[in-house]
Structure 1
Amino acid sequence: MIAIEWIDLVILVLASYRLTRLIVFDEITSFIRSPFLTVSYKENDAGQLIESVEFKGDGFRNWVGRLLSCYWCVGIWSSLGVVLLYIYLPSFFPFLLILAVAGAAAFIQSKTEY
């Protein structure tokens, strides 16, 4: 079994959090999602924005679109990738650390937003 220090586990958790948000929500990675889904927003009668997701294609393309729109689903795969990088390619640790710091900053920002 692999022994992981508590600080490394915290780094892995935060890196997974940030990578998942990067893939599912961030504009900079919309090119990954755009072949598989379209997200639009419409204002309802109360003035609130309602998100609408339209999945493109059938079969595999539709499945990937559904996967990319699911925070929990992408989170599993992101976590797998982060852990595999940590175990098998330790030279990627600085990248994971950067993701972790960005993840912590994003989390703090989301909790201090007005």
Structure 2
Amino acid sequence: MVINGLTIVLLSLAVFRLARLLVFDTIMAPLRSLFHEEKEEKDADGNIETYIVIKGTGVRAFIGELLSCYWCTGVWCAGFLILCQAVIPQAAQWLILLLAIAGLAGIIETLVSKWLQE
């Protein structure tokens, strides 16, 4: 694998998208629910606070902690994509490209939405 600027940008965008997919996106909620649950409570000011309760022990708790932490998940996603690039480079290139395009599209959508709200 050749590491150059384009590779870093593509991997960064791919990791960004994959981590967000796992930690935040609704489509992955059923997977996350196996490892943690979200609880809501009102604070003293009446604001609703959402917090995560990790389920189980051992590996299940580890995965629950991982899926509750965007930064932690990002590190593991980076490792996964780099490993894929090393082991199955042809398939990994397409996966990384797909995730990178989706990640960039998400960033653009967020920026445009904020721009239109102003």
TM-score range, shorter chain: 0.7 to 0.9
For structure 2, the 5+ residue unaligned runs are none
Count how many residue pairs are aligned between Structure 1 and Structure 2: 113
Per the alignment, do residues 19 and 55 of structure 1 end up closer, same or farther by CA in structure 2, a change over 3 Å counting? same
Distance in 1 (alpha carbons) for counterparts of 2:94 and 2:46: 43
Q: Deviations over 1:24-83 (max 9, x none)?
A: 111111122111100134455656442211111233322221111011111111001111
> What TM-score do the two structures reach when normalised by structure 1?
0.83
Alignment of 1:1-114 (within 5 A): 2-42=1-41, 44=43, 48-92=47-91, 93-112=93-112, 113=114, 114=117
Deviation at 1:87, TM superposition (A): 2.6
Distance in 1 (alpha carbons) for counterparts of 2:52 and 2:60: 14
The percentage of aligned residue pairs carrying the same residue is: 35
Distance in 2 (alpha carbons) for counterparts of 1:86 and 1:98: 14
RMSD: 2.0
> What TM-score do the two structures reach when normalised by structure 2?
0.81
Q: Which sits farther off after the overlay, 104-113 or 77-86? A: 104-113
